[in-house]
Amino acid sequence: MKVISKIGRQKNNPERYNVYLNDTYAFAVDESTLIKFGLTKGKVLEQFDIDEITYEDEIAKAFNRALNFLSYQMRSEFEVKKKLLDAGFGESVVLEAIRKLEKLGFLNDETYSKALLETKKKTAKKGPRAIKQDLIKKGINKDTQNKVLDTFSHKEQLSLAMELAQKAIKANQNKTPMQIKQKVQDVLLRKGYSFSIANEILDQIKLEREDEEWDEMIEIQGDKLWKKYASKFTGNDLRMKTKQALYQKGFPIEVIDRFLDEKETEQYD
């Protein structure tokens, strides 16, 4: 027969108690476990009682470990489960702790996903596709992903995408309109916006260049291309290779011809 002979509070953790059976240390329990099982001095315990108590205490420890993990920031169920398993808790103990966390409102994947969506929109201006990948990494199930992403309206996507586009335009003032539009499209697709959103933004962007601006841009880009091809080609081949490259970058034919005429004049001077 095993009888509780002593219950003492731990010095380093006042919420944990050491339980002694027949004057010998047997196990430690959380305060909540102590209360739940009504553990008091003189109480008789069978082995199955001890097994149930220690199992319940493992759940309590896992629960408290998870609460500490959640105190720093919101987490998904997947993240909490991995954290507890990595800490050495058994699968069944972890699942019970998670159920308790969900029941008490400490863990909710839908609430977490909504918060992540808002954070990614505000801090990184990410689009739906990129945020979906973030949700997948956090272990959020497909139904919750779709439900949360459905709240990301078309209007809001256009607004955030336009902010990204304006930033890209400002950073590429020395590029041709074609190059800028390609840069904008690359940025939007990389940020997780769809081709349709990118195209809507590109349709709204109006990029005009004065003659002086064209001359300044082609002077920089054209000179680099001319030098590049001059090491391999001469005469008409050099002109055609440079002309083709500049045209692909979006320079008007008349601007290109004027530039090449000047380069050829310089060459023969």
Angle at 49 between CA 45 and CA 52, to 5 degrees: 150
pLDDT given at position 126:
97
Give me the phi and psi of 30, to 5 degrees please: -75, 155
Predicted confidence band of residue 268 (pLDDT cuts 50, 70, 90): low
Task: Indicate if the pLDDT at residue 210 is higher than 80.
Answer: no
Beta-bridge partners for 7? 19
Helix, strand or coil for residue 14? coil
Reported as a single tens digit per residue, the pLDDT across 59-79 is 999 999 999 999 999 999 999
Strands 2-9 and 16-21: antiparallel
Mean pLDDT of 207-235: 84
Helix, strand or coil for residue 161? helix
Per-chain mean pLDDT for the chain: 92
Beta-bridge partners for 94? none
Of 83-92, 146-155, 161-170, 253-262, the range with the lowest mean pLDDT is 253-262
| Per-residue tokens: 91 | 């699968």
More confident of the two residues 227 and 100: 100
Q: Which residue has the tokens 């196990």?
A: 27
Mean pLDDT of 21-41: 92
* Complete DSSP assignment for 20-42: EETTEEEEEEEHHHHHHTT--TT
